[in-house]
Structure formats: structure tokens, C-alpha cells
Structure 1
Amino acid sequence: MVTSSSSIPSIQSAASAQSRAVPAVLALAFGVLLFLGTGFAAPSMIHNATHDTRHALGLPCH
């Protein structure tokens, strides 16, 4: 006897993976915007906080 219940777990796992991907992509986008926003900001306090990271990634700041 062949059952069709084998397709249900794959549908659930695909939906679960997609539901986890959306927050992950949003968090990544927020992180990139935060990094770029503080990386090129004018105040010296923010500039100094991200200075070494920017140089390590090859981003200019001077």
C-alpha cells in the first residue's frame, strides 16, 4: 500500500525554511544599512567606533 503522506513533510519543511528566511534577510539588510550608515557618518564618535572594521573590509573613510 502506497501512502501520499510523504509530500506533507516536504511542504511543511519548505514553508518553515521560507518563514525563517524572511526575518534572516531583513536582519541582514538592517545590519548592512546600520553598518553603512554609521561607517560614513560625520560624528567622530561613530566614525571611530567603525574605523577599524571599515579598513579591515577595505572601505575608505578618509
Structure 2
Amino acid sequence: MSIISSTSHATSNTATLSQRLTAAIGASILGACLVYFAGFSHIEAVHNAAHDTRHSAAFPCH
């Protein structure tokens, strides 16, 4: 009778503080650019889509 032992290695995918900070800053910059583009866009369809989205989320914009 043979006993087969298997070991399971759990890998931990932890990000360092600098990696998390870089991701958070990047996401914030991207979000700010999207809000700025949609809010001040001269393309009427983009501006109206952002405006309607704010109203549908019950966010006052006037």
C-alpha cells in the first residue's frame, strides 16, 4: 500500500502599497478626465448622455 501525499501551494497575490497607490491615482486621473470630457464636451450627444445619467442617478446637476 503506498501513500501519496500531495501538497497544495496557495499563492497569495498581494499588491504592495506603491502598486495600490499607483492604481488608485491612475483610476482617479482617468475618472476626472472622463467627467471633464463629458461635462464640458461640445458634442451635444455626449453632454446630454452625461446629463441624463446624472438625473437617472438622482444626482442634482442644476
Relative to the length of structure 1, the TM-score reads 0.55
* Alignment coverage as a number of residue pairs: 46
| Partner SS for 2:41 | coil
Residues 22 and 30 (structure 1), Cα distance of their counterparts in 2 relative to 1, 3 Å cut: same
Structure 1 residues without counterparts, runs of 5 or longer: 1-12
The residue number in structure 2 matching 1:39 is 39
Structure 2 residues without counterparts, runs of 5 or longer: 1-13
In the TM superposition, what are the counterparts of 1:1-62 in structure 2 within 5 Å?
16-52=16-52, 53=54, 56=59, 58=61
| Partner SS for 2:16 | helix
Structure 1 letter corresponding to 2:26: L
Offset at residue 56 of structure 1 (A): 2.3
Residue identity (%):
28
Instruction: Indicate the structure whose relative CO is greater, using CA pairs within 8 Å and at least 6 residues apart.
Output: 1
RMSD across aligned positions (CA): 2.6
More helix by share: 1
